[in-house]
Structure 1
Amino acid sequence: MFVEAIEAILQDQFTPSAIRAIENTGNARPAWQALADAGFLELLATEQAGGAGLGLPDLFPILTTIGRHAVPVPLAQSIAARALLARAGAEVPTGMITLAQSCRYDADGTLVCAYTPFGTIADHVLAGGPDGLLLLDCRHAQREATGVRGSQCASLRWPPGHAAVPLPGVTSGEVQAWGAALHAALIAGAAARVGDMTLRYCQDRSQFGKAIGKYQAIQHQLAVMAEHIAAATVAAELAFCADGTQPARLPAAIAKTRSSEAAQLVAATAHALHGAIGVTEEYDLQLFTRRLHEWRGAHGSEACWAPAVGDAWLAGEMSIVEFVRSVALPAALPN
């Protein structure tokens, strides 16, 4: 029910032309207000608190739908941030909230959240500090965009002395696990959209009298792409197979490792099969492949999370099959 409802709004609000307009002007307020008015920011909130009371398994298909539409506002991040703030017992501010990848203090006391997703348009940033959560008002921050065409990622700097009172009850690791899990789901959704676009193009594009999708070499590349999309989707879903509103660190690490690995391969194959048209600004493919590359690095790429997965396996002194089962089906293992 929720997936169909949000799908209808995303199709209406985030057409390719609307996405380009938001990227070019930075004005996402009308589209954001439509999402807020529909109540989709409170999907994880309890029914007593006016939310939908969804669990992580129910949220996963919604996040992949957001990825499929290349939504240019921090909808997924705001849903997660509201759940984290609720656990910390903090009041949730209005507006767009995003999750910081990192948080540090420079020598002069400047607070820096580097390469923050949606840092160019967010109203607030939720960062994991050593003493708890930091809820930061972006109105007081200096925003430094990456310079990448269409990117909404930015580094934010708050001047020395900026008041940021830690909110106890949530750790920095939990923020990073949420960031990894939700970006894995977004990658899975966008990768599926890229796969659909590429398959359709190969069916429509003719060369030497027949569709290029009829050639065995093209079919092989499409098959490999489909394998990576399926693997990324299964891995991403693993991070949401839990009770409560907090993805566990190890499943999130596995999800982000595999989805980030797939992101670059899916994007590269899509552009290889589309040829020159795929890199043009007018063609919609780049709206999704650009995000695949950006989301690959958001909250840690495969190079960041793979060592955590490897360390967990080595610490368990079990076979790789037993390790996978312990993560995917913990209730099925004997005590």
Structure 2
Amino acid sequence: MTAHAAPEPVVVDELITETADRLFSELCTHEAVQAAEDSGSAPGIWDAFCETGFDLIAVPEGAGGSGGTLAEAIEVLRLVGYHSAPIPAAENGVLGGWLLAEAGLERPDGLVTVVPPRAGTDGWSGGGACSANLNGDGTATLTGESHRVPWARSAEIIVCICTCDGQANVVAMPASECEITQLPNMAGEPRDTVRFDGVTGRAVPAPDGVNAEALAQRGALSRVALMAGAIEKMCQLTVSYTNERVQFGRPVARFQAVQQHLVWAAQDAALVRMTAEVAAREATRGDAPFEIAAAKLVANQAAARATKACHQAHGAMGMTQEYPLHHFSRRLWSWRKEYGSDAHWSAVLGNMATGVGADGLYPLITSGTAALR
């Protein structure tokens, strides 16, 4: 039997985690998050985030980024969720920055956002409901409409993957030439409708490994990281509140029914953080379709359970604007609907399981993506 060397460990620099946590702790106050929901942006938080280089942490230095790993970027996104930071951290670097760097397209000074791909019965398709035509001069003209584009109103460049003549292309369009209808998600974060009425942008054939499905997996991983942080913080708020709230002469955390809610929420927080770390580790090493699919499904389901448990433990207090619980629960219910629903990722995992057959099921569960190679 041939012995295989263990893969190199993926290490996240603790200084990155400590710096990001300190930054968000200082800036993401309750008032700042509320104000961002009203205005649709948080320029003070975003500027400070960019000054540290966190916005491009997973983009190679040669493409203008910080040269960090995907695992480090995912850890920063977990802290974005933990502090409910109202910034486009995932879109600008992990998604948009990745697409531009892979395609060799020049990166602008301003914000980059991405048109999320659409899930269908035959996989993922890019570009929303747009059609694209190549012009033969390194540009493409887009016509159509894309929905729920994060932070489109604040972007300088909108990037998407479009198929032209059977070839996937990375297309970068100036946001100023698009018609943007401002719409929020459940948490008040921008999820705008973008209309491309003959908009022309730079177009480059997508290199190997860059397509709508790869973008969807990367987007799903970003949402898992955000949800992991939000669930963790939501649970901590619930533990603190139920220990401080006194009824019938004792903290409500001592009541068995409340303790059950706390246990359920804590279990989900630990589960989602573990799946996020595993998926990020494997995605840093290479393709990780099984780990990402499993992580997104786990996170989607855990977000629903943990939100229910934490809100029930809080009672009416959790529904007030003055108390921060809703900053996390509303984000969770928005993020869980993005980059693949429960039904989609369940079908993906089911197809993987049936594809390897009965003898391959146990290796798939224990080895993940490695069993698919």
Contact 1:66 1:76 in 2 (8 A): no
Once the two structures are superposed, the pairs formed by residues 1-335 of structure 1 within 5 Å of their partners are 1-47=15-61, 51-80=65-94, 81-102=96-117, 103-105=128-130, 110-130=143-163, 131-146=168-183, 150-168=187-205, 169=207, 170-242=210-282, 244=284, 248-317=288-357, 318=359, 320-327=361-368, 330=370
Q: Deviations over 1:232-283 (max 9, x none)?
A: 1122222211365865333221111110111111111111111111111111
Report the residue type matching 2:36 in the other structure.
Answer: I
The TM-score, its normalising length taken from structure 1, stands at 0.90
Report the residue type matching 2:252 in the other structure.
Answer: I
Report the residue type matching 1:322 in the other structure.
Answer: P
CA distance in 1, matches of 2:286, 2:88: 18
Contact 2:56 2:65 in 1 (8 A): yes
Report the residue type matching 1:252 in the other structure.
Answer: I
Contact 1:44 1:54 in 2 (8 A): yes
Report the residue type matching 1:221 in the other structure.
Answer: H
CA RMSD after TM alignment: 2.5
Question: In structure 1, the residue corresponding to 2:197 is in which secondary structure?
Answer: coil
Contact 1:24 1:150 in 2 (8 A): no
Report the residue type matching 1:13 in the other structure.
Answer: L
Contact 1:117 1:298 in 2 (8 A): no
Aligned residues: 331
Question: In structure 2, the residue corresponding to 1:101 is in which secondary structure?
Answer: coil
Contact 1:125 1:135 in 2 (8 A): yes
CA distance in 2, matches of 1:277, 1:243: 39
Q: Deviations over 1:114-136 (max 9, x none)?
A: 11233443333322222222223
CA distance in 2, matches of 1:47, 1:157: 31
Contact 2:228 2:269 in 1 (8 A): yes
1:198 CA drift (Å)? 0.6
CA distance in 1, matches of 2:221, 2:186: 26
Contact 2:242 2:253 in 1 (8 A): yes
Contact 2:144 2:197 in 1 (8 A): yes
Contact 1:44 1:245 in 2 (8 A): no
> 2:3 corresponds to which residue?
none
225-234 or 307-316, which deviates more: 225-234
CA distance in 2, matches of 1:55, 1:159: 34
Contact 2:112 2:156 in 1 (8 A): yes
Structure 2 vs 1, CA of residues 262 and 145 (structure 1 numbering), >3 Å: closer, same or farther? Answer: farther
The TM-score, its normalising length taken from structure 2, stands at 0.81
1:180 CA drift (Å)? 0.3
Question: In structure 2, the residue corresponding to 1:297 is in which secondary structure?
Answer: coil
CA distance in 1, matches of 2:344, 2:153: 24
